[in-house]
Structure 1
């Protein structure tokens, strides 16, 4: 009888021990699965950042000669949670008008390859269209002289964006507006302000029609007040436009100007990402 009782107790202990071990293994496996699910739900991304355009895209005025705002935004994205790596391609060419940029988008094979793989595309165009008109008019500002160039620019911009959307409908596209580099030096040039307003209004409308985001540079460079970059001090500060410009030409942004562009563009990208998520 004692032998039978001992046998039964031994079996019971073994059964309880086996149950405990099984439940422990089950718990560990479930934790691993939960962790795997969390990692698969929030995978780290590689972002392909593509910049297309004129001298503003190329980064003229950047003392490091590394490409203006492009590497600055890339570095900020790399430090963002959930982003593992950022690749950049800069197709900025100094002096190009919107029709020349359109031609490259339509015909340049390596550019087309990068358009198809891009997650973010930033476009700057139109500045040299304006400059060309100024030169033809011998620097005189006559609003009527800019009507036909604006019409051509609008058509070129629309075709560029349609081509980008066709080649890569999933890309997040940003279109830079234009700013007035002479705003602080010649505030009495009201005609210039009217011309830029017309061009920027058209740019914003065309961008929205083509599922792109309009990025205002005039609000950064020509706004009387703008928010400070500091997250701590949320008050407003007045900035002289000339302090953001390259000293050698007083036209392109300097390091401070490119940093301002990069900071605001980064915020726009992250805000767009939050909405998409």
Structure 2
């Protein structure tokens, strides 16, 4: 057998193998098109295991967190919880019942974690809820910027963006534990976390705080993304564009209009 014959046979074998590989790849591609996503495992239980709010005779809500969930700054006392419930009633056409508003002024994420771990009243309300509304983290960031855990400025009332940035990971780790605990107590509830905003965006020396707030929101979203039953509702854009319209006289908490804007977004996020 001469070299030319051997060469042509090798070329033929390679061509056959290439054709087989091409057909195999085409077959897998067709399989993926007809039955997509089968190779991807969810990080947590599929959301389809969670009952739909549309199937509930009454939608039960628990609110927890800090002064924003309590409604501080709203002269009417409604905050965002009550108008959010009204939106849900209109959206689903059924009663929405507030089991409890467990918000505490000044509460930090580490303190909320302690409540969720030891307070039977907190645990019961979470377990019985279809929807959980929550704000937490603002006091943690303020405490870091002030230079101590209690949020009382250690340097004559000045806030340090360097201190805030240096401790950001500590705060997000606290919130990660909060969300994990909530999911353990009630993996079926729709959990809505209201993102943070910078109330001092119009103060030149504190405007940089928006970068840390955005870094916080980004890290929190990465945590919430793991849980199909959780949603993060952004608020930073609402307030940065409308501080004079949406902030109360304390220049920190939302006013009635600000809370109403948050409530509308919450209703949009819940499905």
Find the structure with the greater CA-based Rg: 1
Work out whether residues 141 and 171 of structure 2, in 8 Å CA contact, stay in contact via their aligned partners in 1: no
Distance of aligned partners of 1:107 and 1:84 in 2 relative to their CA distance in 1, 3 Å threshold: same
How far apart in 2 are the matches of 1:51 and 1:208?
A: 21
1:263 match: 264
List per-residue Cα deviations over 1:67-109 (Å, max 9, x = no partner). x111111122223344234334211100111101111111111
Work out whether residues 44 and 82 of structure 1, in 8 Å CA contact, stay in contact via their aligned partners in 2: no
Higher relative contact order at CA 8 Å, sep ≥6: structure 1 or structure 2? 2
Q: Superposed, which structure 2 residues align to 1:10-21 within 5 Å?
A: none
1:253 match: 254
1:175 match: 193
Deviation at 1:43? 5.8
- Alignment of 1:52 with 2:54, yes or no, is no
Distance of aligned partners of 1:194 and 1:200 in 2 relative to their CA distance in 1, 3 Å threshold: same
How far apart in 1 are the matches of 2:96 and 2:256?
A: 24
TM-score (norm 1): 0.70
Structure 1: 5+ residue stretches without partners: 1-41, 225-239, 273-277
Work out whether residues 180 and 218 of structure 1, in 8 Å CA contact, stay in contact via their aligned partners in 2: yes
- Alignment of 1:208 with 2:219, yes or no, is no
1:244 match: 246
How far apart in 1 are the matches of 2:56 and 2:109?
A: 36
2:103 match: 92
Structure 2: 5+ residue stretches without partners: 1-53, 148-153
Q: Hey, which bits of structure 1, 4+ residues long, moved more than 6 A? A: none
Kindly report the root-mean-square deviation, in angstroms, between the aligned alpha carbons of the 2 structures: 2.0
Kindly tell me the number of residue pairs found equivalent between the two proteins: 210
Match of 1:191 among 208, 220, 234: 208
How far apart in 2 are the matches of 1:161 and 1:52?
A: 12
1:219 match: 237
TM-score (norm 2): 0.71
